């Protein structure tokens, strides 16, 4: 395929996904993943610039997700988010990992990769769905975001502790990330409120945020790590500033507009294009088993405490916590590049990750959307029983 036509086709897919989303009411992220999978299996291939832009899109989504977390709720509802998010990680990690090793007879490293990859909850998908449904500013949405953070923190820490061998560059990455986050905590409010920077058509505040995220990506690659966690923590640190007053909220909203217009669609398109239907078809039984195991484990870990703490949206919460994409893809790709899993195992895991991004989200939006979300009250829905 001529490289010059690839951006045009990608643009058409992005616009088509938006039109389908408006028509059906489904999250545009789901449509972009599906169209990416169809295009990829019809011969549409990714260019290096698309892969980088997709990676950057995932980091922006993660930053925005962190910026939506209400740190007050995270502190006040730490027990709830720890229970929901912690078991959302632990249950599928143990069940999928155990099945892979004892029944599917994968190697110990391959089984650990499988458990880690399918234990995730997608920050990108959850955040996109909550934004589109208007739930980001509700107690329900904020608790889901906090729980998702806990789940992915467990995934990232487990992958790092078990597999990643720290080097001087890894320490450099952690050091630079810590310095940038501390500087953001001290000076970001000054930048966001600076009258010389505000409401300028050149958007200097957004460019500064982009620069910091690009630095995270650069040093993460240097240290053979990933920029997702520092990007989320940066968003978490700046979340208070974004919610303080109208002017700083406008910066976040403009950043969201820029991201959703062109950058983040490539994250979902490229994610869908990673699915090889041919390879999955050759191991369809294992694919189905892994998908069922992930969903069953998520329900086993999340449903009880979601029902206890979020009585008006527990099924919706459990389904969203069952999604996977960002960290699942990262973990699978890490295992494949390191030689812990082969191409068939990689395709199965990626296929399950993509399926878990689509199917639970579709079911949640179609049949379990919380009604009268404006009436959801913090004291009533998130109270202890």
Reported residue count of the chain is 385
pLDDT tens-digit readout, 73-118: 778 889 999 999 999 999 999 999 999 999 999 999 999 999 999 9
pTM of whole model > 0.85? no
Show the CA angle centred on residue 271, arms to residues 269 and 273, nearest 5°: 70
Confidence of residue 385 (pLDDT cuts 50, 70, 90): very low
Residues 105 and 139: their CA atoms lie apart, in Å, by 43
Domain spans in the chain, listed from the N-terminal domain onward:
6-381
What is the distance between the alpha carbons of residues 170 and 160, in angstroms, rounded to a whole number?
A: 11
Angle at CA of residue 29, ends 239 and 73, nearest 5°: 25
Please identify which residue in the block is written with the tokens 């099924």: 315
Residue-wise pLDDT for 305-352, tens only, equals: 999 999 989 999 999 999 988 788 888 888 887 899 998 998 899 999
**CATH code, 6-381:** 1.20.1530.20
């Amino acid at each position: 395929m001529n490289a010059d036509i690839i951006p045009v086709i990608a643009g058409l897919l992005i616009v088509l996904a938006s039109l389908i989303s408006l028509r059906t009411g489904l999250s545009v992220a789901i449509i972009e993943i599906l169209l990416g999978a169809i295009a990829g299996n019809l011969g549409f291939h990714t260019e290096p610039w698309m892969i980088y832009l997709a990676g950057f899109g995932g980091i922006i989504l993660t930053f925005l997700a962190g910026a939506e977390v209400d740190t007050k709720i995270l502190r006040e509802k730490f027990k709830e988010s720890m229970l929901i998010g912690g078991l959302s990680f632990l249950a599928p990690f143990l069940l999928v990992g155990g099945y892979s090793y004892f029944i599917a007879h994968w190697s110990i490293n391959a089984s650990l990769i499988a458990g880690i990859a399918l234990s995730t909850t997608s920050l990108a998908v959850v955040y996109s769905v909550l934004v589109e449904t208007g739930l980001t500013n509700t107690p329900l949405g904020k608790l889901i975001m906090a729980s998702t953070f806990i789940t992915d923190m467990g995934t990232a820490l487990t992958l790092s502790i078990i597999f990643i061998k720290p080097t001087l560059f890894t320490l450099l990455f952690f050091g630079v990330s810590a310095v940038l986050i501390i500087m953001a905590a001290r000076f970001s409010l000054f930048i966001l409120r600076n009258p010389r920077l505000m409401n300028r058509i050149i958007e200097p505040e957004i460019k500064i945020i982009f620069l910091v995220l690009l630095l995270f990506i650069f040093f993460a690659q240097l240290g053979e790590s990933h920029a997702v966690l520092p990007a989320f923590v940066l968003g978490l640190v700046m979340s208070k500033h974004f919610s303080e007053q109208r002017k700083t909220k406008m910066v976040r909203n403009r950043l969201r507009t820029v991201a959703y217009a062109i950058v983040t669609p490539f994250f979902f398109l490229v994610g869908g294009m990673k699915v090889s239907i041919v390879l999955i078809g050759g191991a369809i039984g294992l694919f189905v088993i892994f998908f069922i195991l992930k969903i069953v484990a998520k329900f086993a870990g999340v449903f009880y405490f979601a029902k206890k703490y979020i009585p008006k949206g527990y099924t919706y919460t459990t389904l969203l916590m069952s999604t996977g994409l960002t960290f699942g893809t990262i973990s699978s790709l890490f295992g494949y590049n390191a030689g812990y899993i082969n191409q068939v195992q990689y395709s199965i895991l990626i296929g399950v990750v993509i399926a878990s991004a689509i199917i639970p989200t579709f079911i949640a939006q179609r049949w379990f959307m919380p009604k009268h979300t404006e009436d959801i009250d913090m004291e009533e829905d998130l109270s202890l029983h």
